[in-house]
Amino acid sequence: MIGGVLRRFFCTNWISNMKKLCSRFFLLFMLLALSACMSGDHVFRISQDSLQTKLREKLPVTKSYLRIFQVTLENPRVALHEGSDRIHLGLEVAVRILNAPEPLRGEIDVSGGLRYDHPQGAFYLVTPTLERMNLHNLPEQYREPAHTVLSGLLTEYCATHPLYVLDAKKRDQTPENMQLKNVRVENGELALTFGQ
């Protein structure tokens, strides 16, 4: 009889304690889930190949300047450097100078940060920096003006042509009050963190 009473007492307390423990774990889990939702951070990843494909769809582009230069940008190469917050692009360039029989050809390397435009779901390259300019057979007197023209073309082009546009599904996952908080290259992909 005493054994049965003790058994019931311990079983009842054990079940009661387990219920309390489970409810505390559930409450802790819900608080963690709620805090994760409240942080509101969303991370989108874009591969280097995807960026490259989107950029190739938009080039070549040709622009005339000062009635002296005609510049064509083509064949983009995207490079994502691990840990960087900048996009690096290589472009082939052709510069036709007034009265020159053939355009000068070469390569340029550009890097820039990213800006997000929510209504368009578009990422734009901002503060593009002309890292390297190698135009074959460019006369010395034209190096500085060519650098200026190419920098202006890049700034103008990047301000009006998005580097990448989110598809409708991903765009719907970024509420209007969310801002682009962080850009980082991780594991060969562009990791874009949105939050409040």
Instruction: Tell me which fold the domain 43-195 belongs to.
Output: Bactericidal permeability-increasing protein; domain 1 (3.15.10)
> Which of these ranges, 9-23, 63-77, 101-115, 161-175, has the smallest mean pLDDT?
9-23
Q: In the chain, what percentage of residues exceed pLDDT 90?
A: 47
Confidence of residue 31 (pLDDT cuts 50, 70, 90): very low
Please indicate whether residue 76 or residue 100 has the higher confidence score (pLDDT).
76
How many angstroms separate the CA atoms of 148 and 153, rounded? 9
Integer-rounded Cα radius of gyration of the chain: 28
Take residue 114 and report the two structure tokens written for it: 């990213």
139 preceded by a cis bond (ω within 30 of 0): no
74 DSSP β-pair partners: 92
Q: Provide the percentage of residues in the chain whose pLDDT is more than 70.
A: 79
Return the structure tokens found at 60: 């070549």
Q: Determine the Cα–Cα distance for residues 37 and 171; give it in Å rounded to an integer.
A: 18
Which distant-in-sequence residues (6+ apart) come within 8 Å of 103 by Cβ? 70, 72, 94, 95, 96, 97
Tokens 């060969």, located at residue: 188
Please give the model's pTM, rounded to 2 decimal places: 0.73
Sign of CA pseudo-dihedral 99, 76, 126, 147: negative
Domain ranges, ordered by start, for the chain:
1-39, 43-195
Question: Residue 14: what residue type?
Answer: W
126 and 85 in contact (C-beta within 8 Å)?
no
Q: What is the pLDDT of residues 104-123, one digit of tens each?
A: 999 999 999 999 998 898 99
Which of 76, 91, 98, 93 has the alpha carbon at shortest distance from 135? 93
